[in-house]
Amino acid sequence: MNGKRWAALIIAGVLLVFSLGMNTIFAIFKSDFFSSFDSLVAGDDLTVLEEVKESGNMDKRIAYLKVDGTIQDVGSSTLWQPISYDHQFFLNQLDNILYDETVEGIVLSVNTPGGGVKESAEIYKKLLKIKEERQIPIYVSMDSMAASGGYYISAPADKIFAQRDTITGSIGVIMQSINYQALAEKVGVKYETFKSGEHKDMLSPMREVTPEERAMMQDMINETYQEFVSIVANGRNMSEPDVKKVADGRILSGKKALEAGLVDEIGDEEATITALRKDFGLEDAELFEYTYDVGGWQSYVGMKIGSIFGPSAEEKMLMKIMADYKAPKMMYLYGEY
């Protein structure tokens, strides 16, 4: 057998081994190992890191925090389903500040249409706890949008900066459900419901809401709305009647919000940081933000495998649609959800 044939056999063997290896990898990632590996590199095992944005005195520091995206607790980012806002990670940042004596000020950047009533309240309570126990200033920098729940979490700040064209306000509560009973009947779909009480299937998409149920739901909305108004009144040192003048769900530009007393100054993020430094003698303070990383080989391998074998954009969208929780719930939210 001449050299060319030997070379051909060797190449064929290498291709065979490579093919078998690739098939094995695909088989693994279609099995239950896929979900196990995903959990390995997911947010549950995150290592919280700090990244310096502006160097300075490390004994007195300013923490830069950012809420970017809808305020909902939908889990942590994974290789296959990244999320823009990680609620638990943000709460962890607030916990770190509560016990970090080197942090002497907070700049909170807000860019969100709002979100869940529960999640917004969790952020608000932790910010309030930091103010009471640490007695450090909190300045808010509103980005393009800080509406509804975005304003709710901004209310306890010592000073709120908005840009002239920021969309803010939208103070109120919304809860929606879809009724597709007529459509189901048209295509021949019928629900059979067995329930323990008259209202157990309240807000079912397969029947009309009764007047009694509508009154019950409105009572819940009104109670939560009143809590929102109180939060704003306390945070802004306004009377509740004054708050209610603009708390009918309307959105406001940054300029109109300033006129209404909902924000303190027109300025961008840089102006917010500069003001905090000047107002509290933190000119030489280090400015840092929290980041996270799974660390080590998990991070490196995860990114590589995610880029090569991860789902397509269409598959990611389908996974998101299937994972989203669609049951009706009260929201501090501007826009559709």
Q: Catalytic positions, please?
A: 148, 200
Q: How far is CA 337 from the centre of its chain?
A: 13
Residue with tokens 């995150």: 46
| Distance of alpha carbon 154 from alpha carbon 179, whole angstroms | 35
Q: Report residue 224 as tokens.
A: 């939560």
Helix (H) or strand (E) holding 51: strand 47-54
Q: How far is CA 277 from the centre of its chain?
A: 27
Pairing of strands 331-333, 114-116: antiparallel
What are 47-50's contacts with CB under 8 Å, separation 24+? 47/292, 47/293, 47/294, 47/295, 48/89, 48/92, 48/93, 48/96, 48/290, 48/291, 48/292, 49/290, 49/291, 49/292, 49/293, 50/288, 50/289, 50/290, 50/291
Helix (H) or strand (E) holding 5: helix 3-29
Q: What is residue 219's three-state secondary structure?
A: helix
The residues with which 50 forms a beta bridge, in sequence order, are 290
Give 71's DSSP letter.
Answer: B
